[in-house]
Structure 1
Amino acid sequence: MLEQYQKHFNALGYTQPTAIQEAVYGPLAGDQNVLGLAPTGSGKTVAFTLPALANLLPGDGIQLLVLEPSQELAIQTSRVMRDWAKLLDLKVAALTGGANVKRQTERLKKRPEIVVGTPGRLLNLIQDRKLKVHLVSLIIVDEADDLLTGDTLETVRAVAQAAPADVQLGFFSATDTPILHDLKQWFGQEVMRIDVRDQDQTQGTVRHGLLEVGMGKRDQMLKRLLAMPNFRALVFFKQSNTLRHTATKFYHDHVSAASLTSDLRQVQREKALADFRQGRIRLLLTTDVAARGLDIPKLPAVINYDLPSEVNEYVHRAGRTGRMGEPGQVISLGDDHDLRDLKKLLRDTDYQLVPVYFQGKQLTTERPVAAKATPVTEQPTTPAATTGDGATTPSAAPAATPERKPRRRSAAPAQPAPTKKKKHKNRHTKNKGMRKKWRDHDAHNA
């Protein structure tokens, strides 16, 4: 490790590198292609930052590209890298989708050595010849299990193909996926695999609770959880419509919450994330895409409003809490059927899923018991005492209570008798009867 790194490392309060930081430093600094697998919150950003910056030359143009799956993660990574890059007089530029292209182009004119961005925006700038990659010597693909899927895979490959043929590649992920075993097939280079997930000790104690709540009562449960002291949580939704509905309801009810979704403007997203990190809001409603890889120091809890459908989704959600040795809590909401399905999904993992209950403004693992009604016991009668002559006299009885007068029921208001409706004979029928009577009379007189 460089001397400048060691001083800054100690100034930040770190005593020793994490498992992934120690394992990848030598190979990555030695121009080897690397796949680094480590748990969430184990310091992967610093793991690829330190060796990557060590080989860069100040003032020599763009030499390092870092690809991130979201705007938030790209901005977060650029801040971490900028903190270390200033020690070596290097500049970092963040280029993300949704931001102003002209402003980003102006940043490139300052000739940064490191560019951090989302794949789509980087490829667009490369194709428009705004981003020059002919001097790029290293490309880092962070959150590789997410970026190397679907259409994004082709975008990442296009960025790599635009760089020189001998460009060095680094892939980092918290979870293993099939494509990470076929990197040579997709990128044409051998990749050294470094997996420290079993050796890493950075994860704090995280409890995984199952809270049985129906869909219609989950918003109310979120409000009740806010009664817990110092409670803050990242709340995960699967559907943006459900998220927006809950966010609107909380806004009108003045609940301390904000949204973080991909359809918001970058300024709005940055403000929501900053407010949550600084404790100005207590609930951050988000989706898997928007919150992937986010580092929120000392986050107490993660709430699964909608349960994940894949193991990797649960791993990344749970990884937002319990980072760097801090304790954490994962709360999964659902009905009995949903929670059974989640147990089946995670049965091959090491997670211990425990039913929890909310009682007395706190979460507990003890099932609340309904209070039983105490039966009314009759007062025993006092037996009569006998006198010397054999006569019985009543013994001293307890003080007589005043006789309670029977409660008189208030007389119901008299209802008026229903009036009998007059029957009106049909005039036609009446006339018909009169005609018959006169016909009979005429016949009798004839």
Structure 2
Amino acid sequence: MLKQFEAHFKDLGYTEPTAIQTAVYDPLVGDQNVLGLAPTGSGKTVAFTLPALANLLPGDGTQLIVLEPSQELAIQTSRVMRDWAKLLDLKVVALTGGANVKRQAERLKKRPEVVVGTPGRVLNLVNDRKLKLHLVSLLIVDEADDLLTGDTLDTVRSIAQTMPADVQLGFFSATDTPILHELDQWFGQTVERIDVRQEDQTQGEVCHGLLQVGMGKRDQMLKRLLAMPNFRALVFFKQANTLRQTATRFYHDHVSAASLTSDLRQVQREKALQDFRLGRTRLLLTTDVAARGLDIPKLPAVINYDLPTSVNEYVHRVGRTGRMGEPGQVISLGDDHDLRDLKKLLKETDYDLVPLYFSGRTLTTEKPVAVKPVAAETSSAASVESQASVHMPKAKGTARVTAAKSAASPAQQPNPTKKKKHKNRHTKNKGMRKKWRDRDSQN
């Protein structure tokens, strides 16, 4: 590590490099192609930043390209790299979709040594000849398991093909996917695989909880969770439509929440993320695309409003909490069927899923005990009393009826407002008419 970096490393409060930072430093400095696998929150950004910057020459144009899957992650990475690059008098520029392309083209005229961007925007500027890659010596593909899929894979390969044939390659990911075993076929170079996921000790203690809540009551449960002191959470949705409905409902109910979706303008996304990081809002509603790789220091909790459908999705979601030794809480919402499916999905992993219950404004792993209602005791006493009246010894008819009525429950008392049913006059006088007819016949 360079002396400038060592001093800054201590100023930031770090005592020693993490496992991934130690493992990839020498290979990257030595111009080797590297695939680095490490858990979320283990310092992968710094792991490729320090050796990559150490090989750059100030004033020699763009020599390093870093590709990120989202605008937020590109901006986050550029800020981290800029913090270290200024120690070596190097310039860093972020190129993201959704931002003003003319303004980005103007920044490229200053010939920055480092460019961090999303693949689509980088390729567009390359095709427009605003960004020249003939001097690039290192290409870093962050979140490689996500970027090397579908159309994005073709975009990344197209960018790599515009660089010199001997360009150094660096791939970093928290999860392993089949394509990461085929990098030499897709990029035409041998890549050294460095996996420290079992050795890494940066992950804090995280509780993975299952909270049984139906779909119609999940918004209400989020409001109840906000009653807990100092509670903040990143809330993951599967569908953007569901997210927008919840966000609209929370806005009208004055709930402290913000949205982070791919259809928002970059300024809106940056403000939502900044407000959440500073604690101005307590819930950040987002999707997997927008929140992948985000570093939110000391995030207390992650909530799965919609459950993930793959192990990799779950790994990246829960990796937002419990970073760098901090404790964390994962709350997965769903009905009995949903939670059973999640258990099956994560059966082969090391995650310990425990049932959670919300009681008395706190989350607990102990199932609340139902308290017997007082009304039930009163009714049971009344039933005993009525049974006693049934077995009372027989006395005179009037006394027996009176005792039975006095022991009867209020529900059994005759309604005083109900009118008595009068006998039909025709029926009442039937006997008298027969008597009159008999008398007439005798006369």
TM-score, structure 1 as length reference: 0.85
Cα RMSD over matched residues?
A: 1.9
Residue type of the alignment partner of 1:318: V
2:111 counterpart residue number: 111
Cα deviation, residue 65, structure 1: 0.2
Matched, 1:169 2:169: yes
Cα distance between partner residues in 2 of 1:46 and 1:322: 18
1:190 counterpart residue number: 190
SS at match of 1:371: coil
SS at match of 2:348: coil
Matched, 1:334 2:334: yes
Matched, 1:132 2:132: yes
Cα distance between partner residues in 1 of 2:31 and 2:290: 32
1:316 counterpart residue number: 316
Query: 1:369-397: CA deviations, max 9, x gaps?
Result: 1102464698xxxxxxxxxxxxxxxxxxx
1:291 counterpart residue number: 291
2:33 counterpart residue number: 33
2:85 counterpart residue number: 85
Query: 1:309-331: CA deviations, max 9, x gaps?
Result: 00000000000000000000000
Cα distance between partner residues in 2 of 1:338 and 1:84: 45
Matched, 1:349 2:349: yes
Cα distance between partner residues in 2 of 1:335 and 1:139: 45
SS at match of 2:368: coil
1:429 counterpart residue number: none
Cα deviation, residue 412, structure 1: 3.9
Residue type of the alignment partner of 1:276: F
Query: 1:66-108: CA deviations, max 9, x gaps?
Result: 0000000000000000000000000000000111100100110
SS at match of 1:211: strand
**Structure with the higher fraction of residues in helix conformation:** 2
Cα distance between partner residues in 2 of 1:360 and 1:297: 28
SS at match of 1:110: coil
2:301 counterpart residue number: 301
2:51 counterpart residue number: 51
Alignment of 1:21-420 (within 5 A): 21-373=21-373, 375=377, 412=417
1:384 counterpart residue number: none
Cα distance between partner residues in 2 of 1:26 and 1:109: 32
2:385 counterpart residue number: none
Matched, 1:5 2:13: no
Cα distance between partner residues in 2 of 1:266 and 1:257: 18
Cα distance between partner residues in 1 of 2:261 and 2:155: 22
SS at match of 2:343: helix
Cα distance between partner residues in 1 of 2:218 and 2:172: 35
SS at match of 2:31: coil
Cα distance between partner residues in 2 of 1:195 and 1:280: 38
Residue type of the alignment partner of 2:140: I
Where structure 1 has 5 or more consecutive residues not aligned to the other structure, the ranges are 379-402, 416-446
Cα distance between partner residues in 1 of 2:272 and 2:116: 21
Cα deviation, residue 410, structure 1: 8.1
SS at match of 1:330: strand
Residue type of the alignment partner of 2:39: P
Cα distance between partner residues in 2 of 1:226 and 1:112: 44
Question: Residues 99 and 370 from structure 1, CA distance in 2 versus in 1: closer, same or farther, beyond 3 angstroms?
Answer: same
Cα deviation, residue 111, structure 1: 1.1
Residue type of the alignment partner of 1:72: E
Query: 1:170-208: CA deviations, max 9, x gaps?
Result: 000000000000000000000000000000000000000
Query: 1:44-67: CA deviations, max 9, x gaps?
Result: 000000000000000110000000
Where structure 2 has 5 or more consecutive residues not aligned to the other structure, the ranges are 382-405, 421-443
Q: How many residues align?
A: 391
Cα distance between partner residues in 2 of 1:103 and 1:409: 87
Cα distance between partner residues in 1 of 2:233 and 2:7: 34
Residue type of the alignment partner of 2:261: T
Question: Residues 317 and 372 from structure 1, CA distance in 2 versus in 1: closer, same or farther, beyond 3 angstroms?
Answer: same
Cα distance between partner residues in 2 of 1:363 and 1:409: 50
Residue type of the alignment partner of 1:354: V
2:402 counterpart residue number: none
Residue type of the alignment partner of 2:250: F
**Identical-residue share of aligned pairs (%):** 82
SS at match of 1:172: strand
Cα deviation, residue 409, structure 1: 8.4
Cα deviation, residue 414, structure 1: 7.9
SS at match of 2:236: strand
SS at match of 1:363: strand
SS at match of 2:84: helix
Residue type of the alignment partner of 1:295: D
TM-score, structure 2 as length reference: 0.86
2:393 counterpart residue number: none
Residue type of the alignment partner of 1:50: L
Cα distance between partner residues in 2 of 1:410 and 1:46: 82
Residue type of the alignment partner of 2:190: E
Residue type of the alignment partner of 1:64: L
Cα distance between partner residues in 1 of 2:323 and 2:360: 28
Cα distance between partner residues in 1 of 2:190 and 2:128: 31
Residue type of the alignment partner of 1:59: G
Query: 1:250-286: CA deviations, max 9, x gaps?
Result: 0000000010000000000000000000000000000
Residue type of the alignment partner of 2:36: G
Cα distance between partner residues in 2 of 1:369 and 1:8: 54
